[in-house]
Amino acid sequence: MARTPARALTAPLAAVVLLAAACAGNDSSAPAPAPVLAGGEIQLVDAPAASAGLTGDGRADDAAPAASTKPADTADPVDPAATTEPSAPTAAAAEAPAPAKWVQLSTNKASIGETVTDVTGFTLYRFAGDSAEPPTSKCTGECVKNWPPVLIQAGGRVFVDGMKTDDIGAIRRPDGGVQVTIGGWPAYRFTGDTVPGDLNGQGADNAWFAFAPDGKAIDPLIATVVVKAAPPDRTRTLTARKSKDGPIVVDDDGATIYRFDKDDTDPPASNCTGACAALWQPVVAQNGGKVKLDGIDGDRVWWLSRKDGTKQVTLDGSPLYRNVADKSTDTIIASAAAQGWTAAR
């Protein structure tokens, strides 16, 4: 992952000024001054979270996951019509996710065009019942059970990766939470998305649409014509690590590596095809050589030959993959287990 120094900027709407490392003069080793609040709700950083040495997904240590881990086919039905009026805080409103310490907004090349995701690669959506002028959320009460808002602690940092910082802001919700906005529109996740890159919320009830990077809604008439397999994840080294979510294996970028329960292990064979192959990259050794191992017994690692001529790495016979949309580090996407994806250990 590129580690780009953050540059100074002023956030629109409810935002803040971030003093960047550039203010330290020509001495690149000088520490950047602490961000200074300017009476707003968030701090904008024009760089990935990794540039600040951050790992994980931004959740507070005691925060709940940002979305339900229920499989999509068990998610409660969404009724946008029932959530078009602001409401006072209720027990249902308390089901909204705990605010994150920090948030990353990234672009992702999806089958319907370029979308916006959080750091873990989950698609972000906007609600037609909301407004951008002025920015207002009408998804409250029962609505947030299916469409959790992207919440951040007051004064928290929003890392902007591949988008214009001028399009990013924040609002105070009716329940008092601070919600991130894109192009003035409040941002949400969908609990029916269980794997990074999923687009199950696109066009739901003709009211929920994936964000384009400029804050516009992606046209609901756009459909996938050709599903292309994701390019391989070429890595030099596989490393065993202990994350806050448990033991994991990571690639050169620190991204968590997964195995697919539907694959064969004896002999090893990949059964991830079609739409699956568009979201999950096979892990292969960089330059076609052997992958180096750090903390992993070499007897556990082998490879299988793929139809495209590449050699996919296997662990205990299981072919290994990386999710194409997930940009987090040291994090396990727990909800992916519902679709048969388990972190390699």
Domain range list for the chain: 9-210, 233-343
Overall average pLDDT of the 39-51 stretch: 86
Q: Which DSSP string do the residues of 287-308 spell out, in sequence order?
A: GGSPPEEESS-GGGEEEEE-TT
pLDDT over 80 (residue 270):
yes
Against a cut of 0.85, is the pTM above it?
no
Q: CB of 28 within 8 A of CB of 60?
A: no
Bond preceding residue 267 cis, omega within 30 of 0:
yes
Amino acid 215: pLDDT: 96
- Residue holding tokens 């605010």? 99
Is-cis flag, bond preceding 80, omega within 30?
A: no
For range 84-99, the mean pLDDT? 51
Least trusted range by pLDDT, from 60-74, 227-241, 252-266, 275-289:
60-74
Average pLDDT, integer, range 229-249? 93
pLDDT at 60: 62
The amino acid at residue 320 is L
Q: Which of 79-93, 130-144, 299-313 has the lowest mean pLDDT?
A: 79-93
Radius of gyration of the chain (CA): 21
